[in-house]
Amino acid sequence: MQVLDSSAFIHEYHTDEQVASIPDVQAELEGEHAFRFDAMEGAGMHIHIPAEGAVETIGRAAEETGDADVLSETDMRLLATSFELDATLVTDDYAMQNVAEHLGVSVKVIARDGIDEQRNWRFQCAGCGREFDEKHDRCPICGSDLTRKNPA
């Protein structure tokens, strides 16, 4: 089974496999893309609402990779759906790919290149320059904002 992100509908993705999505994706789509969602639902696409526990698991994984601040609620629910259904996530979103790889969820990329490696982001203080593994609201040393930094 494949779980479709909004990019699958926007890029007119086709597959012979069973597909699923979530109501939040339908809410993001407009015009012909929304019509495509409705048509696929009418043709048997499974509409899934993930359990809150699965969404919480995704949230913890996103905190571990440093992607929590860039994932939307829809992204988290799509990841949770793929996790629950043991399905392939179809998306072009890099942060979603990173969290999926962290959890062992397979990903199919549509229009962009997929990620080359999983990243566990670090956070750097804009004021004092110190680096942290965990995201804080502000630097615990000087109080300045933190920015996400590639750990390489």
Tokens read off for 114: 């997929």
Long-range contacts of 107-114 (CB under 8 A, 24+ apart): 108/2, 110/7, 110/8, 110/11, 110/13, 111/7, 111/11
Return residue ranges of the chain for CATH 3.40.50.1010.
2-108
Q: What is the pLDDT of residue 6?
A: 92
2-108, which class in CATH? alpha beta
Q: What is the pLDDT of residue 113?
A: 52
Q: What is the pLDDT of residue 114?
A: 46
Secondary structure of residue 111 in the 3-state scheme: coil
Q: Which residues pair with 23 in a beta bridge?
A: none
Q: What is the pLDDT of residue 118?
A: 55
- pTM exceeds 0.85: no
Question: What pLDDT tens digit does each residue of the chain (152 aa) get?
Answer: 999 999 899 888 889 999 999 999 999 898 888 899 999 999 999 999 999 999 999 999 998 888 988 899 999 999 999 999 999 999 988 899 999 999 999 999 987 554 455 556 677 788 888 877 776 677 887 888 877 776 65
Domain 121-152 has CATH 2.20.28: yes
Give the model confidence (pLDDT) of 13-37 as tens digits.
889 999 999 999 999 898 888 899 9
Q: What is the pLDDT of residue 117?
A: 54
Q: What is the pLDDT of residue 103?
A: 94
